[in-house]
Amino acid sequence: MGHLSSTLVRRGCAAVFTALSLAAAAHAGKANDTLVYASDNEVENVSPYHNNMREGVILANMAWDTLIYRDPKTGEHKPQLATAWTWESPTALLVTLRPGVKFHNGDPFSAEDVAYTFNVVNGPDAKIATRQNTDWIKNVEVVGPLQVRIHLKTPFPAALEYLAGPTPIYPAAYFKKVGLEGFSKAPVGTGPYRITAVVPGQGVTMVKNPAYFKDSPVGQPHIGTVKFVVVRDPEARAAQLMTGAIDWIWRVPADQAESMKAGMPQITVLSGETMRVGFVTINNVGTTPESAPFKDVRVRQAVNYAINRKGFADSLVRGGSQPVYAPCFRMQVGCVTSKVVRYEYNPAKAKELLAQAGYPNGFDTDLWAYREREYAEALIGDLRKVGIRARLHFVQYPALRTEVRSGRAPLSFQAWGSYSISDASAFVGNFFKGGPDDTAKDAQTIALLQTADSSTDKTDRLAKYGQALERISKEAMWAPMFSYSTNYAFTKDLAFDAWPDELPRFAQARWK
């Protein structure tokens, strides 16, 4: 598969890692009550509604609260900023709010903040990153100082899941005063940590919120200061972890993780499959010469047959990764895949389909990617074996998103964690319901998903998702590839739990 080159390089680095570990300085984190965590990407805007990076989801979970809390152990919905909620009708949810909560700047939390967040900050004219997360809300009505009524456009069975996920509540008075630009530089929430510094290109500093409300299901934060830093190079992240400059890293390549487990007793390594899925988007409508071949379903099917999903899962990702054939994660409600086409690895079949489509000698095209360069290069290797000669454009995520949404990217390698929402609407709905990230724009699929998202009949809802996923696979609108496993590595001084929803809960971490 072309995976061996990066693997051998990392194995060659094992000796370097061991040497570094022997010379590592004492970990400063516990002594200074400061947890430093690093990732390879930064958010373009720290405002949660204005980015859709996983790094942004982590920050949102620390600095903001949602109306409802979803217990990661049980999946149960519990009161957070809301203390109670009642469905008055399939499109009206009455929500009672928690008294005594304050924002980080001292402003009291009230119904006005909830209404402002959903009506204005997240309203139809707001330039938010993922419209799918909130476009089910029609408007929010203030009923009393601590009560609101959320009106839905149509019935939406997954509403509580979303209110427990990517829907944090903003301070109305403060946001009106500073605007989006000011808010992104000095954000304010109600969460267990308050953000004290945002430095573009470098990171974000957070300190424990001493006034965090005592009845929060999150619990009180334990670590005094948490710093997020951007370190793009994986070797540099690992080296800084071992010298004590960083306390926690993730997305550790499998070979690095194995080396750390074997020879670095001062480091804890956790691994496991997550809800995140890696996939290839395909420009079905052929808006550029480079994407014109993909208007033919046979070419899109050839892409699917060309990819060695099992090879990716077993040899490159590892750690519990599994092949994926549909744009959803198998544990999500609505991820019905019984009739989904399983495109097994078959380069000969891919070449045959390309010849039938008029490309016996293949063709040149472009593939855009923003993460795991080694995965993107392995993918290009698979495509080249069948004659699809893709040039790699490796960029930061905002640049990739612009190319995909404008129709200029024939192919892109991406990943999606569904904002940790355990409902298929958060995945297939985001990419195939006619929104900006829909590269197929298939009217039949859009109609099926609109019905599935709003149906209150569980049997009908699951059937419609199944039909949509079946059509997406038969028409090869995408090439889903594999589920991610995430390798976490962190100092032995830290007590940290990893969860399948790929949300590091630093507010619940503590020093040993």
Q: What is the CATH number of the domain that holds 204?
A: 3.40.190.10
70 touches 85 (CB < 8 A): no
Decide if 190 is inside a domain: yes
Range of the domain at 360: 273-485
Residue 253: inside a domain:
no
127 and 161 part of one domain: yes
Q: Does any domain span residue 264?
A: no
What are the angstrom distances between the C-alpha of 35 and each of 202, 244, 266, 270? 16, 11, 16, 18
For the cut 70, the answer to whether the pLDDT of residue 447 exceeds it is yes
Q: Among 12-26, 83-97, 310-324, 435-449, name the one with the lowest average pLDDT.
A: 12-26
CA dihedral 212, 215, 221, 222 (to 10 degrees): 120
Domain match, 346 and 424 both: yes
Residues 272, 321: Cα–Cα separation, whole Å:
8
Arithmetic mean of pLDDT, 298-321: 96
Summary mean pLDDT of the chain: 93
pLDDT at 9: 37
Whether the Cβ atoms of residue 491 and residue 268 lie closer than 8 Å to each other: yes
CATH code at position 481: 3.10.105.10
Specify if 74 maps to a domain. yes
- Over range 383-387, report the average pLDDT: 98
Residue 272's pLDDT band, with cuts at 50, 70 and 90, is: confident
Question: Are residues 499 and 479 located together in one domain of the fold?
Answer: no
234 and 291, same domain (yes or no) = no
- Which residues have a Cβ under 8 Å from the Cβ of 57 and sit 6 or more positions away? 48, 166, 417, 419, 420, 503
Answer yes or no: do 294 and 236 share one domain. no
Indicate if the pLDDT at residue 23 is higher than 50: no
* Terminal Cα-to-Cα distance of the chain (whole angstroms): 42
The CA distance from 440 to 281, in Å, is: 9
Domain count, the chain: 2
Q: How far is CA 100 from the centre of its chain?
A: 32
The helix (H) or strand (E) run that includes residue 467 is helix 458-474
- Tell me the β-bridge partners of 299: none
**What's the pLDDT tens digit per position in 113-136?**
999 999 999 998 999 999 999 999
Question: Quick check: 441 pLDDT over 80?
Answer: yes
What's the pTM value of the predicted model, to 2 decimals?
0.85
pLDDT band at 17 (very low <50, low <70, confident <90, very high): very low
pLDDT for 14 beyond 60:
no
Tell me: pLDDT of 141 over 60. yes
What is the Cα–Cα distance from 505 to 510, expressed in whole angstroms?
A: 10
Task: Give the per-residue pLDDT at 11.
Answer: 39
Domain for residue 268, yes or no? no
> How does pLDDT run across 218-269, given as a tens digit for each residue?
999 999 999 999 999 989 999 999 999 999 999 998 899 999 999 999 999 9
Clarify whether residues 464 and 497 are in a common domain: no
pLDDT exceeds cutoff 90 at 7: no
Instruction: Report pLDDT for 444.
Output: 98
Assess whether 198 and 279 both reside in one domain. no
Q: Are 188 and 323 in the same domain?
A: no
Which is nearest to 421 in space by CA: 238, 223, 275?
A: 275
